[in-house]
Amino acid sequence: MSFSSDIKQELNKSSDLANKTKVKYELVGYLLSGNIELQNNNKIIKFTTESDYNINRFSKLLTNLNKNHKIEVAGKNFIVKLKIKEIEDLIETVINITNVNKEKTSEITINEELKNDILAQEAKQGKEENKKAIIRGSFMGSGSINNPENTYHLEIVFHSENNRNFIKKLLEDFGVNVKIIDIKNKKSIYLKEGEEISKILALIGANKAVMQFEEIRIKREMRGKVNRLVNCETANLNKTINASIEQISAIKKLQETGRFSKLDENLKEIAILRLENPEMSLVDLGKMLKKPVGKSGVNYRLKKIMEIANE
């Protein structure tokens, strides 16, 4: 089962159904999402999903609010068709059905009066919980999240730019910084930062998923640090080996031409140590000298040897 499915399974089991107000607002989130469409001259609302947990949650919300509906199956898709008259109370107080272009294509959008009330700055507990319920409904409606072991990506798709911007603003009110995709048939919000995704999961009440996500995130960060350290060590080792090869080549050249014996004693000493310890770092070579010197002192002497060899 995918990570998205795990989250939706957890949210499907949420016990918030006793609170009618939160149920209503979560249903609003569903209705604003990208998997909702209007049919039969705006007489029918159709919700489509491949997730059985998702359709179960949607059905629970409708049943809790006494909305008549039935679940259909078409291939891999689960479908709920709902008569508009079943949610007339929501249309009057919570959502709008508006024409959006010359062809009179209609969409469901948030009621402006309610939208302004929800987005009001005063932080009241009830209002905060309503916001979270709407976000949860929109994620359940058309949200997805990649397996965090591979990559961080959470996305919620909308048909309407207005609905997308509304959910974006709700998330920003909770300190979640989202990005948008804005193309002809796709209006989305998305996240690629692990910390921000974790915030959303916590907001919508997926607490087990937050713990699982954070565990994976910590492991990924640790693996990344280890890989960077290994790469750094490997790069340093390769650098040491390559430099050592050049130094040894210069020393042997001096020996073959008879110029080695003419070197200063300090240069001879470090040259012999390098020949005997080709893999050793400059710091360790310096410690082995009769009069130990630091890295810069060893580096100076070996560079001098190479200059003499190249003359």
Dihedral over Cα of 52, 57, 134, 111: its sign: positive
Domains in the chain: boundaries: 3-142+159-164, 222-310
Confidence (pLDDT) at 252: 85
Contact 174, 201 (CB under 8 A): no
**In this structure, what token pair is assigned to residue 96?**
């709008």
State pTM to two decimals.
0.70
Please state the rounded mean pLDDT for residues 139-156. Answer: 89
Whether 264 has a pLDDT exceeding 80, the answer reads yes
Whether 122 has a pLDDT exceeding 70, the answer reads no
Q: Which residues contact 283 (CB under 8 A, 6 or more apart)?
A: 294, 295, 298
Cite the DSSP H helix spans in 258-288.
Answer: 265-276, 282-288
101 band by pLDDT with thresholds 50, 70 and 90: low
Give the chain's mean pLDDT. Answer: 84
